[in-house]
Amino acid sequence: PPLSFSPRANPQPTSFSCTPRPPSHSSSCQIVIAMESALLGMGNPLLDISSVVDQALLDKYGLQMDNQILAEEKHAGLFKELASHADVEFIAGGATQNSIRVAQWMLQIPGATSYMGSVGKDEYADKMTEVCSKDGVKVCYQVAEGTPTGTCGVCIKDGERSLVANLAAADKFEVSHVKKAENWKLVEDAKIVYSAGFFMTSSPESMTLVSEQCAKSNTIYCLNLSAPFLMEVPPFKATLMATLPNVDFLFGNENEARTFAKSEGWTTEDVAEIAAKIACMPKTNGSRCRTVVFTQGMDSTVLVHNGQTKVYPVTPLAKEDLVDTNGAGDAFVGGFLSQLVCGKSLDDCVRAGHYAANVIIQQSGCKFPAKPSFNWIAQ
């Protein structure tokens, strides 16, 4: 089919024994107002090739639902097979790019967000640039000559998804691109920098450089665990643990939380307890405590901040309204960061995250209406 592109989802406090530090979101903190390039994302830009599949296709390629993996040789035919489906959609994606575009959509302030990643010199890259720019995101892609723009096979079944990423050009990101004067200025100007954990597969050097700079400059650095394999493959886990001391906000879902705990030799599978233990792990910038946020699908979101745990029920959604969970976690982060960059409370950040995720799961892929209906609360 011809290519078509779519734009791109009563709290109970519990005390823990870690030493509280000044919170990053207390009334004494300087409020960060959304301004030009206030939120920077760095990640792997991918073109999503999305289609509804049956169990036979999942079995053919050895795929599991609610999972994300990097493509292997055995997945070579998957992308063509998905593209041949009558209902296939081609959607500008990649986890970090999704979150940044959702944050930009929530903010509705042109240029408030910016994004770096590596693409090929092709139609897919041109379209992603066009879509992001139209949304108001400032894109600063590195162009990897001779390598196609990365793709992600999105296999949808019963409203859940299995993702298979072929990074291609996204895997060619070089730290020299970050060091260019105009790009390093984006790092210096940002109030918040965010990366999905997937970025550590393509440019761990860039992640190290930027996270260390954020710790030195007191810029908020946010990271997502993103996928279980990042904690199961030794080189990726090593990068994660080297970066974690610089992380101010850590995001993930319940599966990733439990995989992290297992990789650390912890016996607990309680998501709130895991979040609390991660929040207390060593941190470079001692002036700000680490906040850990774990989503759990339609179950409550867990947030640990400054030694306290809160549990937030998600917005209910009728089963018949659920279309596609692909991008829900990305949308949650985008909504959350849209409030964080404006100095809103963590309660408001979670509320915005739930709103954005609720919108995205009623769409096919990470897409959203022209303007959000989110109710901003003045502080």
What residues are labeled active site?
A: 330
Q: What b/e readout covers 137-167, taking b as 16+ CB neighbours within 10 angstroms? A: bbbbbbebeebbbbbbbbbbeeeebbbbbbb
In angstroms, the CA 78 to CA 99 distance is 26
Rounded distance between C-alpha atoms, residue 291 and residue 282, angstroms: 13
- Which residue bears the tokens 């992308």? 79
Bridge partners of residue 138, in order along the sequence? 114
List the beta bridge partners of residue 224: 196, 251
Residues 306 and 292: their CA atoms lie apart, in Å, by 10
Decide: 96 and 39 in contact? Cβ < 8 Å: no
Terminus-to-terminus CA distance in the chain, angstroms? Answer: 49
Token pair belonging to 48: 């999503």
Measure Cα distances from 346 to 302, 310, 351 in Å: 12, 10, 8
Torsion sign over Cα 307, 358, 251, 375: negative
Measured CA to CA, the distance from residue 74 to residue 60 in angstroms comes to: 9
- Strand segments, DSSP code E, in the chain are 5-6, 39-42, 46-52, 67-70, 89-93, 113-119, 138-143, 151-157, 160-166, 192-196, 220-224, 249-253, 291-296, 299-305, 308-312
CB 3 within 8 A of CB 128: no
Q: Do residues 288 and 23 lie in contact, with contact meaning Cβ atoms separated by under 8 Å?
A: yes
Task: Report DSSP state, residue 296.
Answer: E
Residue with tokens 């597969």: 201
